[in-house]
Structure 1
Amino acid sequence: MTLKKAALLLSLSIISILPAFAQKDTVSLTTILRKTSKLTTGYPIEKVYLHLDKPYYAAGDTIWFKAYLTVDKHSPSNLSKVVYVDITNEENTIIQSLKLPVVNSVAPGNIILSSDLFKEGNYHLRAYTAWMRNFDPDYFFNKNIVIGNSINNPLNTTISFNSSGTGNQLNINTHIIFKDAADAPLANKKVMWRVTANGDDISSGKTNTNSSGIADIAFAGKPSLLEDAILTTEVELADRKTVIKTFPLKTAAAEKDVQFFPEGGELINGVLTKVAFKALNTNGLGIGAKGNVIDNAGKIVANFTSQHLGMGAFNLIPEDGKTYKANVTFTDGTKATYSLPRARPSGVNLAVYNVDTAASITIKISSNSPYFDANRGKPYYIIAQSGGAVYFAAQTALASPVYSAAIPKSKFPTGLVQLTLFNGQGTPVSERVFFIQHHDNLTLNLTADNKVYTTRQRVKIAISAKNKKVPVEGNFSIAVVDESKVPFDENAESSILSNLLLTSDLKGYIEKPNYYFLSKNANAAQDLDILLLTQGYRRIAYSEILAGKYPPVYLLPEQHGIELSGVIRNNTGLPIAKGKLSLQIPAKNFYAETTADMVGNFKFSDLSFPDSSEVIISGRNNVNNKNLMLTANGETYQVPTLNRYVNDRILNIDTAFKPYLQNSKKQYDNSHNLKEVVIKSTTITPRHTDYPSLTGLPPEPDQVLNKDRFVGCQNLLSCLPSMLLGATVENGNIYMMSSYNSNNKLPMQVFVNGLPVDFNYLGTIDGSTVESVEFFKKDGLSGVNERYGTSGIISISLKKIKKTKISFNELQELVPPPYIMKLKPQGYSIVREFYSPKYGVTGQTAFGPDLRTTIYWNPNVTTDKTGAATVDFFNADGRGTYRATIEGFDADGNLGRYVLRYTVK
Structure 2
Amino acid sequence: MALIFTGLGAGAQQIDSMVNVYGERFPQEKIYVHFDKPAYNTGETIWFKSYLFTGIIPSPISRNFYAELLDQSGKVLQQKIMPIYEGTSAGHFDLPANLPPTIVFRAYTTWMLNFDTTFLFSKTIRILNKTTAQTPPQGGATAAGTTTAAKQTTAAASSNSIPVATLRFFPEGGDLVTGLESVVAVKVTDVYGLPVSAQGTIKDAAGATVANFGTVHDGMGRFTIEPQAGKTYYAEWQDEKKQTRKTPLPTAKPGGVIMQCASTGNREAFIIKRTADAPDNLKTLYLLGYFNSQVVYKARLNLQQNFMVSGSIPLDGIPTGMIQMTLFDADWKPQAERIAFVNKEDYFFTTRVVPITRNTDRRGKNTLVIDVPDTLKANLSIAITDAGLSKADPDADNIVSHLLLSGDLRGYINNPYYYFTGNDDTVRSHLDLVMLTNGWRRFKWDDLAAGKLPVIKFPRENYLSLNANLTGVLPSQVPKNTQLNVFIQAKDSSRQLFFLTMDSSGRFRQDGLVFYDTVQVFYQFNNSKHLANKAIVNFSNGTLKSGGVIKPDTAWRVPMPLDTSLLNRGKFFATEADRIRPELEKKVKVLETVTVKAKQKSKQQQMDERYTSGLFSGGDATTFDLTDDVSALGAFNIFSYLQGRVAGLQITTGGGGSQLQWRGATPSLFLNEMPVDVSAIENIPVTDIAYVKAFRPPFFGAVGGGAGGAIAIYTKKGGDNTSAASSVGGLDKSRLTGYATPKEFYSPDYSKDVAQNELPDIRSTLFWAPYLLTDKNNHKITLSFFNNDVTKRLRIILEGMNEDGQLTRVEKIIE
Q: TM-score surpassing 0.5?
A: yes
Higher relative contact order (CA 8 A, sep 6+): 2
Task: Tell me which residue corresponds to 2:102.
Answer: 122
Q: What amino acid does structure 2 have at the position aligned with 1:381?
A: Y
Task: Tell me which residue corresponds to 2:386.
Answer: 482
* Aligned equivalents of 2:744, 2:241: Cα separation in 1: 49
* Aligned equivalents of 2:135, 2:504: Cα separation in 1: 65
1:97 to 79, 87, 96: 79
Task: Tell me which residue corresponds to 2:771.
Answer: 860
Q: 2:356 touches 2:368 (CA, 8 Å); kept in 1?
A: no
**Where do residues 96-175 of structure 1 align in structure 2 (5 Å cutoff)?**
96-115=78-97, 118-150=98-130
Task: Tell me which residue corresponds to 1:694.
Answer: none
Change (3 A) 1:892 1:339: same
| 1:704-756 Cα shifts (integer Å, max 9, x gaps) | xxxxxxxxxxxxxxxxxxxxxxxxxxxxxxxxxxxxxxxxxxxxxxxxxxxxx
RMSD of aligned Cα (Å) = 3.5
Shift of 1:264: 0.5
Shift of 1:487: 2.5
* Aligned equivalents of 2:135, 2:565: Cα separation in 1: 10
Shift of 1:131: 0.7
**Where do residues 173-184 of structure 1 align in structure 2 (5 Å cutoff)?**
none
In the alignment, structure 1 residue 33 sits paired with structure 2 residue 16? yes
| 1:630-665 Cα shifts (integer Å, max 9, x gaps) | 345685422254345533614689996232232244
Q: 1:619 touches 1:820 (CA, 8 Å); kept in 2?
A: no
In the alignment, structure 1 residue 591 sits paired with structure 2 residue 503? no
Change (3 A) 1:135 1:222: closer
| 1:94-132 Cα shifts (integer Å, max 9, x gaps) | 1110000112221111111122xx424111111111111
Task: Tell me which residue corresponds to 1:509.
Answer: 412
* Aligned equivalents of 2:326, 2:421: Cα separation in 1: 29
Task: Tell me which residue corresponds to 2:536.
Answer: 629
Shift of 1:391: 2.0
| 1:743-784 Cα shifts (integer Å, max 9, x gaps) | xxxxxxxxxxxxxxxxxxxxxxxxxxxxxxxxxxxxxxxxxx
Aligned partner of residue 410 in structure 2, secondary structure: coil
Shift of 1:564: 2.4
**Where do residues 387-536 of structure 1 align in structure 2 (5 Å cutoff)?**
387-398=292-303, 399-450=305-356, 453-455=359-361, 456-465=363-372, 471-489=375-393, 492-519=395-422, 523-536=426-439
* Aligned equivalents of 1:105, 1:674: Cα separation in 2: 41
Shift of 1:558: 0.5
Task: Tell me which residue corresponds to 1:55.
Answer: 38
* Aligned equivalents of 1:621, 1:668: Cα separation in 2: 63
Task: Tell me which residue corresponds to 2:259.
Answer: 350
Task: Tell me which residue corresponds to 2:784.
Answer: 873
| 1:655-676 Cα shifts (integer Å, max 9, x gaps) | 9623223224424654761239
Shift of 1:348: 1.0
Shift of 1:527: 1.7
TM-score, normalising length from structure 2? 0.74
* Aligned equivalents of 1:332, 1:354: Cα separation in 2: 35
Shift of 1:610: 2.4
Shift of 1:53: 0.9
Task: Tell me which residue corresponds to 2:719.
Answer: none
Q: 2:11 touches 2:449 (CA, 8 Å); kept in 1?
A: no
1:324 to 230, 233, 243: 233
* Aligned equivalents of 1:521, 1:648: Cα separation in 2: 34
Change (3 A) 1:252 1:610: farther
Shift of 1:226: 5.0
Q: 2:205 touches 2:232 (CA, 8 Å); kept in 1?
A: yes
1:846 to 757, 761, 781: 757
Unaligned runs of 5+ in 1: 1-13, 162-173, 175-194, 199-220, 232-247, 679-815
In the alignment, structure 1 residue 380 sits paired with structure 2 residue 362? no
**Where do residues 736-755 of structure 1 align in structure 2 (5 Å cutoff)?**
none
Change (3 A) 1:523 1:460: farther
Q: 1:577 touches 1:598 (CA, 8 Å); kept in 2?
A: no
* Aligned equivalents of 1:37, 1:197: Cα separation in 2: 37
| 1:533-585 Cα shifts (integer Å, max 9, x gaps) | 11111112323321334321101010243442423663798455422213333
Aligned partner of residue 12 in structure 2, secondary structure: helix
Task: Tell me which residue corresponds to 1:223.
Answer: 149
2:745 to 826, 831, 834: 834
* Aligned equivalents of 2:810, 2:160: Cα separation in 1: 35
In the alignment, structure 1 residue 898 sits paired with structure 2 residue 801? no
Aligned partner of residue 372 in structure 2, secondary structure: strand
**Where do residues 560-709 of structure 1 align in structure 2 (5 Å cutoff)?**
560-567=463-470, 570=473, 574-587=477-490, 588-619=494-525, 621-624=527-530, 625-632=532-539, 635-639=544-548, 641-643=551-553, 645-647=555-557, 649-650=559-560, 657-667=567-577, 669-670=579-580, 673-675=584-586
Q: 1:295 touches 1:325 (CA, 8 Å); kept in 2?
A: yes
* Aligned equivalents of 2:773, 2:60: Cα separation in 1: 18
**Where do residues 225-264 of structure 1 align in structure 2 (5 Å cutoff)?**
226=152, 255-264=164-173
Q: 2:357 touches 2:365 (CA, 8 Å); kept in 1?
A: no
Change (3 A) 1:125 1:432: same
* Aligned equivalents of 2:466, 2:396: Cα separation in 1: 36
1:294 to 185, 203, 227: 203
* Aligned equivalents of 2:792, 2:422: Cα separation in 1: 24
Shift of 1:431: 0.8
Change (3 A) 1:638 1:521: farther
2:270 to 359, 363, 372: 363
Q: What amino acid does structure 2 have at the position aligned with 1:363?
A: F
Task: Tell me which residue corresponds to 1:79.
Answer: 61
* Aligned equivalents of 1:658, 1:644: Cα separation in 2: 30
Aligned partner of residue 330 in structure 2, secondary structure: coil
In the alignment, structure 1 residue 281 sits paired with structure 2 residue 190? yes
Change (3 A) 1:575 1:276: farther
Change (3 A) 1:493 1:843: farther
Shift of 1:82: 0.7
Q: 1:384 touches 1:418 (CA, 8 Å); kept in 2?
A: yes
Shift of 1:65: 0.9
* Aligned equivalents of 2:753, 2:503: Cα separation in 1: 67
Change (3 A) 1:497 1:386: same
2:220 to 307, 311, 333: 311
* Aligned equivalents of 2:161, 2:735: Cα separation in 1: 48
Aligned partner of residue 103 in structure 2, secondary structure: strand
Q: How many residues align?
A: 661
Change (3 A) 1:196 1:832: closer
* Aligned equivalents of 2:473, 2:160: Cα separation in 1: 61
| 1:28-74 Cα shifts (integer Å, max 9, x gaps) | 32222112122222211112221111111111211111111222x22
Task: Tell me which residue corresponds to 1:886.
Answer: 798
* Aligned equivalents of 1:85, 1:661: Cα separation in 2: 27
Aligned partner of residue 647 in structure 1, secondary structure: coil
Q: What amino acid does structure 1 have at the position aligned with 2:306?
A: S
Shift of 1:412: 2.1
| 1:449-486 Cα shifts (integer Å, max 9, x gaps) | 448534244333333336xxx54221111111221343
Task: Tell me which residue corresponds to 1:541.
Answer: 444
* Aligned equivalents of 1:251, 1:828: Cα separation in 2: 50
